Amino acid sequence: MRLLALHFLTITYLIYIILFVLYLSTRFSIIAVMKETLSFKIDPAIKDAILKLAKKENRSLSNYVVTVLMRHLEIKGIDWRKEASEKEKVS
């Protein structure tokens, strides 16, 4: 009986993780083809700190920075996806 309950909890937990990952992937999706390159200078200590954070999340430096920027835009109430689609319609 305990083994059955343990299997049930494990399956439930896995389903929860899968649903959470799917939620995040739709909420913070990155456009498949990046259209712009951004280059800037940064203090080496800041770069090292960002690299450490990226490694903790198993992300590349670039992916981590883009994700942080998208979250910041969301916090500020800027719907960059909507603005990008409107810009494409005008072009």
The amino acid sitting at 1 is: M
CA dihedral 61, 26, 69, 38 (to 10 degrees): 60
Residue bearing tokens 């996806």 = 81
DSSP string computed for 32-90: SS----------HHHHHHHHHHHHHTT--HHHHHHHHHHHHHHHTT--HHHHHHHHHHH
Q: Which pLDDT tens digit goes with each residue over 19-70?
A: 777 666 666 555 455 578 888 898 999 999 999 999 999 999 988 998 899 8
Reading the block at residue 72, the tokens are 């910041």
Q: Cα separation of 53 and 57, whole Å?
A: 7
Q: pTM here?
A: 0.55
Q: Which pLDDT tens digit goes with each residue over 56-75?
A: 999 999 889 988 998 999 99
Q: Cα separation of 48 and 54, whole Å?
A: 10
